[in-house]
Structure 1
Amino acid sequence: TKYIIQAIEEVVDKFGEVKDNASPDLLMIRKDMQVLRGKVNQSFGMALSHYNSLGYLDDIKESFVENRRVLAVLAMYRKKVKGSILGSSKTGSIAFVEPESTLNYSRELKNLEYEEKKEITRILKYLTASIRPYHDLIVQYQTLLSDVDLIASKAKYARKINGILPQITKEKRLFFRDAYHPILYLSNKNSNQITHPQTIELNENNSIIVISGPNAGGKTISLKTVGLLQLMLQSGILIPVHERSETFLFDRILTDIGDNQSIENHLSTYSYRLKNMNYFLKKCNAKTLFLIDEFGTGSDPDLGGALAEVFLEEFYHREAFGIITTHYTNLKILANELPNATNANMLFDERTLEPMYKLHLGQAGSSFTFEVAQKNGIPYGLINRAKKKVEGDKVRFDKTIATLQKERSKMEKTSQTLKEEESKARDEGKKMEQINLKIKQKLESYQELYDSNQKIIYIGQKVEDIAEKYFNTKNKKELIGDFLKLVEIENSKRKKASAKEIQEKETIKKVVAKEVEVKVEAIRKEKKEKKLKANAVEEKPKMVLKVGDRVRMFDGKAIGSIDKIEKNKAIVNYGVFTSSVSLDVLEFVERPK
């Protein structure tokens, strides 16, 4: 391998061109060619300047003919310019002349180009001979590279079309859900158009589908989508379908799609179709998928329809899977009569007469012949005359199918609207549930916080009562006992809860407390402002407090005595404990007796 790479790299560069130094002779030839090209350009430039100054040249001045630089001389002056005429413009107004001064150099350059080609051929022959012993190895490499290139191409294409591998079943079943025609999908994607996916199922109880409906409604695309995707899958290419899709690997896929007239083989459309049907009859078996577009056309409707009916019955009895498109009424009736065959139609908007590109199984489709004709501007009188020429039963049958299709379209739209409304209602319901849950959680959190605060208030009141009694009773031991008992009771309540529960409660408490604090802050502010206003209105003369005075806080009930005053703070003795309090918040009660 190293020898092959080295031998090639010595001769060929990364662009696939033979290197200048591939041989001494080639190097010399190319150097001479470079010198000559310089001389050609120099002499041509002088001639161009000379004749241009004389006004003999056209606006384009120069051009290339047979890879040689030529002057674009106006036809009236071509005899005044010395050189060789190599051609003229389409109109004949310009003559392309190679100046005489460059002719000799051009001839020499041409000779050197010939020598260069000869030398390159010799070098490549020598290189080929040197690596010929490794022929088998090179073929293996080529096969490997081809395989890698093919796999990479399949992977890139699969990514483009969002291809996946559906489930391959041993059971004879084809179920393509949300299947896209790959070429149509990419084309519409590039032009920002919507591609409508199709869902098609073939199984033992539904082996043949007969699709009917108006032209340009999407019948052929549906047919081609199934055929192309199945062929792609059996060729190892991932296909654009839903991940829940399933399919079976068929032994044969037979198709008859499009008008295949042949002048060379003297075949009309119908002759070609009969030849195809004969081939189908020879090859069709239980493991065959057949796809036929516009089945039975190309001949007399009654006779061609009868023959098509017989072919369809034969394919059915051979248990083959198939999809056909048709406008023939007898084939629609046959599909309805056969137990394992199904009619299908492409939905059509009856108001706009525009196709909806949706395949609906279980019902034959109307061709909307007269409606489409009317939409395309055919006079109403002519359409009525045509209706009279058709047998009454056929018109009634087609009209019934058309009415059923219209009803189906309305039901589809209503169903879609109901689904959208149901989806909206579901979303709204979920939102309401989430809101209710949040409100419930908030209420629970506020309740817990309220209970906690009530507990704190209760304990605070108890402590305050004990403190107040302490100064007004002689039996202080009993009060201290009550206080310790209260502490023990509260402590025992806390111990009952686990450490984890306490931590969780504390966390919730902090979060809720923060939320409450934000909301309550405004109320507190407002209350403070009102209090300050009230104090400003009813401001009493403030008494100077002294050591020994009995005092209490403005908002409190507990009374204590001042032990010490430092700056603007007083040390107040409440008996059980002492506290440092600002003089501004203390209220005089009485002087010691």
Structure 2
Amino acid sequence: MLYPLNSADKLGFTDVKSLISAHCLSEMGREMVAKIQVMNNGELIRKFLSQAAEFKTILQHDSALPINQLFDIKVLANKARIEGTFLTEDEFYRVQASLTTVYAVIAYFNEREGQYPNLEALFEHLPIEKAILKKIDLVIDAKGKIRPNASRELQEITSGIAKAEQEARRKIDQIFKAAGSSGWTADGSLTIRDGRLCIPLLAENKRKLKGFIHDESASGQTVYMEPEEVFALNNKVRDLEFERRREIVKILTTLTDELRPYVPLLLSYHGLLTKLDFVRAKALFAIDIEGELPQLSNDATIKLINARHPLLYLSFKKEHKTVVPLNVQIDEGTRVVVVSGPNAGGKSVCMKTVGLLQMMVQAGLLIPADESSTVGVFRQLFVDIGDDQSIESDLSTYSAHLSKMKHFVENANGKTLILIDEFGTGTDPQFGGPIAEAVLESLNHKKVKGMVTTHYSNLKIFASNTDGLENASMLFDNQQMKPMYMLEVGKPGSSYAFEIAQKIGLPQNVLNLAKNKISIGQKKVDTLLVDLEREKKEIFDTKLQLDKQQRRVNTLLTENEQLKKYLEENQNALIRDAKQQAKSIILDANRLVENTISEIKSNQADKEKTKELRENLNKAAQKNTVKTAEAAKPVVDEEIKIGDWVKLTDSDTTGQVMEIVKDNVILAIGELRTVVKKKRVQKVSKKEVPKEMRRSNLSNTSDVANFSPEIDVRGMRGEEALYAIEKVLDRAIMMGFGNLKVLHGKGDGILRKLIRGYLKKYEQVSHMEDEHLDRGGDGITYVYLK
């Protein structure tokens, strides 16, 4: 699978295993971590990855799994298997604690049945024999000590020991008190010698009291005597203790005999605890590196999105730096990526990231990459990194490289992933380059997949003209002469040898001499690469600007359509209300006219009565005229407040006041925001606003309340960060916020410079400044708006 055998060390996989091992609670868990191997069984890989992902979910979003202490009960089970042996009190305590943990774990998952299927499979069909635990609980207490009432005989013996000890203590206290009254004792109190309670006597009085002398002081003036009466009682206690020990052994032997039939089950429980400790350690490591479960493919393919080298990520995390994410794809169309670029530009780290993450996935470990990444399964992983020269094997650096190339060419196939660092180096470039090209061509014919790094121009040209091979370069800021650590697929990169040498300070005459010694063709190629990179950056900046303008055009078109829709809805609503009101007035008028005619007829056209009725009719007409005028006239209120509904005086557009700034008001018209002069609006009653608009504005008002002019773009790619900032900036400007806070991190300052250069193009941006040093310094930019 792996060639050579030290590939795991070269790629950092051994270090990853060490970090996982540190999270284990038990030795058996650490032993299992040490056995982690790269697998090529897709189903097995999928199962191990899913287990780690489920345990990560438990650690982050569920109650804690009850596995705080784990013991190696496999050794105890094997000991109990032998006839005539017995487990000690402490050993039974470890079995007891382990069984309690197992049953608690099974109960935990039973409560969440179906939620973690891959972890549940670890104890599927595993029986729960609580009878074992009950038998142990009858003998061993919660502190791991044997219970005084474990048997009737033990209880009687324990009681006898307590009575004998009490009698011996009472007796020696009497003797000590009497001897003290007689002046026979030395200064001090009762003391222990050889495990027996003794009286300190003056040496000249030792014959005045019968007993056994256990010790004397350094000066010889004090002896420590156990009185004769107490001696017999203490011997009785000692005999009872021996008898108690024999009874305890008898009880433990009986309990071990009862446990012996369950030894296979204990071994199964041991396996469950070991696997849980193992998966838990993998999940904790995944949390440390922000590991995710990628999409798995049965094909030999790789598509990494926002991938990071786990060891580099942890190292940078301690220093509060960020790792530039890697995006790369290796498939049937792009089988081998040929990476070029300047020294110390990140070529080797890029390649090691691909190799290490591939090994981690095929070992069942979550990786620090976007969950939309796709990782396939390779049957072989061939690695050529570093100097493997050997004095014992009489191998030079180049010979060691060639021996690996021989193995690669002979054994590689379409299911092989190759990783070659500094391809072709170690010998005369005039010959090393063509040999490397021939090896690469042979590997390409075998449909192998992988990544190689090189400085050789012939390999760059070969990759650009060959199907299945793809050039890529590590980006380099040729203005500041600093690497950007970003992989760009599609074109080779310059080594920037002369530029870097000039920046370091190599004398100009030496540089000129060197330039004259290289061929014209090579000089043209390198110059062309530098020019291409510069043009690429200009095109990239132009693309960003065009994308920004296109998004703004799309936004304006959407706003126009929405505004048109609201205008139509308002117009239709007003016409509908006017028609309804006119209909009501006509009905009232008709009813009044009919009543008037009826009254005139009933009074036989009396002049006075007719005059009175005519006046009432005129009053009603005037009243309806005023009512119609008032209905048509909007409510006027000179003092407009936030939250009021207003209408533009020169149109039927209705909106809600979100903010008042001097002589201007900011209106919310549905999802739109606009600024108008106060004199162009007049207040209207809420009833005149259509319900649909009120509901829309209510939700949008909530959006304004919840909006925060702050964005965190740490870990994002440059283009992704700019797009996210643009959206927040547009909303901040539209809602009238005075500033915007951008968290981009410190790192090498590449992202900060990119963001600030981009924001300077906005005419609405007044100026920018760093956060206070105590609160983040130049890792945070405050953008002040006009």
TM-score interval, normalised by the smaller of the two chains: 0.5 to 0.7
Deviation at 1:188, TM superposition (A): 4.3
1: CA distance, partners of 2:146 / 2:380: 54
**Superimposed CA distance per residue, residues 464-487 of structure 1 (whole angstroms, 9 cap, x where no aligned partner):** 3334444444599xxxxxxxxxxx
Instruction: Return the alpha-carbon distance in structure 1 between the equivalents of residues 330 and 367 of structure 2.
Output: 18
Deviation at 1:22, TM superposition (A): 7.5
Cross-structure match for 1:390 = 518
Aligned-partner SS, 2:334? coil
Which residue among 168, 175, 189 is the counterpart of 2:297?
Answer: 168
Give the direction of change, closer, same or farther, for the CA distance of 1:521–1:295 in structure 2 (3 Å limit): same
CA shift, 1:163, in A, is: 0.7
On the 8 A contact 1:293/1:325 being kept in 2, the answer is: yes
Cα pair 2:346 2:485 within 8 Å, conserved: yes
SS at 2:324 equivalent: coil
Give the Cα separation in 2 of the matches to 1:374 and 1:187.
31
Q: Report if the CA contact (8 A) 1:345-1:361 is conserved.
A: yes
* 1:287 is the counterpart of 2:415: yes
1 CA distance for matches of 2:459 and 2:573? 72
> How far did 1:318 drift?
1.7
Q: How far did 1:292 drift?
A: 0.7
Secondary structure in 1 matching 2:635 = helix
CA positional deviation for 1:323: 0.9
Instruction: Kindly state the Cα deviation for residue 223 of structure 1 after the two structures are TM-superposed.
Output: 1.2
2:461 matched to which residue of 1?
333
Please give the secondary structure, in 2, of the residue aligned with 1:396.
helix
| Structure 1 partner of 2:348 | 220
**Structure 1 runs not aligned, ≥5 long:** 25-99, 102-118, 477-515, 524-593
Which AA in structure 1 matches 2:293?
I
Map 1:15-26; keep pairs closer than 5 Å. Answer: none
Match of 1:342 among 470, 492, 498: 470
The separation in 1 between residues aligned to 2:307 and 2:331, in whole angstroms, is 17
Q: Residue 520 of structure 1: which of 627, 635, 656 is its match?
A: 635
Shift of 1:187: 4.3
Instruction: Choose 1 or 2 for highest CA Rg.
Output: 1
Q: How far apart are residue 348 of structure 1 and its match?
A: 2.2
Task: Assess, with a 3 A threshold, how the Cα gap between structure 1 residues 183 and 282 changes in structure 2: closer, same or farther.
Answer: same
Specify the SS of the correspondent of 1:207.
Answer: strand
Q: Pick closer, same or farther for the CA change 1:241–1:432 going to 2, 3 Å.
A: farther
Quote the Cα distance in structure 2 between the aligned partners of 1:134 and 1:474.
Answer: 113
The question of whether the paired residues in 2 share the 8 Å contact of 1:158 and 1:164 is answered with no
Q: Is the 8 A contact 2:92 2:144 kept in 1?
A: no
Provide the secondary structure at the position in 2 that maps to 1:324. Answer: strand
Is structure 2 residue 572 aligned with structure 1 residue 444?
A: yes
What is the CA–CA distance in structure 2 between the aligned matches of 1:298 and 1:133, rounded to whole Å? 65
- 183, 190, 205: which one aligns with 2:311: 183
What is the alpha-carbon distance in structure 1 between the residues aligned to residue 144 and residue 371 of structure 2?
57
Does the CA-based 8 Å contact 1:365-1:401 persist in structure 2? yes
Q: Counterpart of 1:358 in 2: which secondary structure?
A: strand
Between the aligned partners of 1:266 and 1:368, the Cα distance in structure 2 is: 35
Matched residues in 2 for 1:518 and 1:323: separation?
Answer: 76
CA–CA separation in structure 2 for the residues paired with 1:295 and 1:460: 97
**Separation in structure 2 between the aligned mates of residue 231 and residue 136 of structure 1, nearest angstrom:** 35
- What residue identity is the alignment partner of 1:152? R
1:209 aligns with 2:337: yes
Could you report, residue by residue, the CA deviation over 1:175-228 in whole angstroms, capped at 9, with x for unpaired residues? 333333333344445555443333322233322221111123232222122212
Q: In structure 2, what is the Cα distance between the partners aligned to 1:268 and 1:177?
A: 38
Q: Is structure 2 residue 507 aligned with structure 1 residue 418?
A: no
State the Cα distance separating 1:370 from its structure 2 match. 1.0
CA distance in 1, matches of 2:552, 2:319: 31
Instruction: Give the counterpart letter for 1:520 in structure 2.
Output: V
* Residue 167 to residue 416, structure 1, CA distance change in 2 (3 Å): farther
Query: 1:104 — aligned with what?
Result: none
| Inter-CA distance 458–279: structure 2 relative to 1 (3 Å threshold) | same
* Aligned AA (2:576): E
Displacement of 1:6: 9.2
Residue 289 of structure 1, CA deviation: 0.7
> Conserved in 2, the CA contact under 8 Å of 1:223 and 1:324?
yes
1:297 corresponds to which residue?
A: 425
Structure 2 residue 370 is matched with structure 1 residue 229: no
1:294 Cα deviation after fit: 1.0
Q: Give me the whole-angstrom Cα distance separating, in 2, the residues matched to 1:424 and 1:195.
A: 32
Spell out, residue by residue over 1:292-341, the C-alpha distance to the aligned partner (whole angstroms, 9 max, x if none).
Answer: 11111222222222222222122122221121010011111221232221
How far apart, in 1, do the equivalents of 2:637 and 2:587 lie? 27
Distance 1:412 1:342 in 2: 20
Where does residue 271 of structure 2 map in the other structure?
143
Report the secondary structure of 1:215's partner residue: coil
Does the 8 A contact of 1:173 with 1:203 survive in 2?
A: yes
Deviation sequence 1:421-468 (CA, Å, 0-9, x none): 333443444344444433433333233222222222222333333344
Opposite residue 385 of structure 1, the aligned amino acid is L
Looking at structure 1, the residues matched to 387 and 556 of structure 2 have their Cα atoms a distance apart, in angstroms, of 54
Q: Equivalent residue for 2:194?
A: none
* Residues 424/156 of structure 1: CA separation in 2 closer, same or farther (3 Å cut): farther
Report the CA distance between 1:347 and its aligned residue. Answer: 2.4
1:277 counterpart residue number: 405
**Counterpart amino acid of residue 452 in structure 1:** Q
Q: How does 1:308-319 map to 2 (within 5 A)?
A: 308-319=436-447
CA distance in 1, matches of 2:557, 2:551: 10
Normalising to structure 1: TM-score of the pair? 0.56
TM-score by length of 2: 0.43
Aligned equivalents of 1:278 and 1:374: distance in 2?
39
Matches within 5 A, 1:357-506: 357-473=485-601
The structure-2 alpha-carbon separation of the partners of 1:188 and 1:458, relative to structure 1 and needing over 3 Å to count, comes to farther
CA contact (8 A) 1:162 1:239 kept: yes
State how far apart, in whole Å, the 2-side matches of 1:391 and 1:303 are: 16
Distance 2:368 2:282 in 1: 13
Does the 8 Å CA contact 1:168/1:249 hold for their aligned counterparts? yes
- Change in 2 beyond 3 A, CA 1:139/1:277: farther
Task: Indicate conservation of the 8 Å contact 2:292/2:370, yes or no.
Answer: no
In structure 2, runs of 5+ residues without a counterpart are 1-72, 81-86, 99-141, 149-217, 220-244, 605-630, 639-786
CA contact (8 A) 1:167 1:244 kept: no
Quote the Cα distance in structure 1 between the aligned partners of 2:256 and 2:397.
55
Contact 2:293-2:366 within 8 A present in 1 as well: yes
Residue 256 (1) aligns with residue 384 (2): yes
Q: How far, CA to CA, are the matches of 2:559 and 2:323 in structure 1?
A: 33
Return the alpha-carbon distance in structure 1 between the equivalents of residues 512 and 460 of structure 2.
25
Deviations 1:365-395 (A, max 9, x none): 1111111222233333332222112222211
Distance 1:232 1:428, change over 3 A: farther
Superposed CA deviations along residues 94-126 of structure 1, whole A, max 9, x for unmatched, are: xxxxxx99xxxxxxxxxxxxxxxxx9xxx9xx9
CA contact (8 A) 2:423 2:436 kept: yes
* 1-structure distance, mates of 2:432, 2:368: 36
Q: SS at the partner of 1:238?
A: coil
Q: How many residues align?
A: 388
Q: Give, in whole Å, the separation in 2 of the partners of 1:452 and 1:303.
A: 95
Distance 1:267 1:446, change over 3 A: farther
Q: 1:422–1:461: structure 2 CA closer, same or farther, 3 Å change rule?
A: same
Which one-letter code corresponds to 1:333 in the other structure? Answer: I
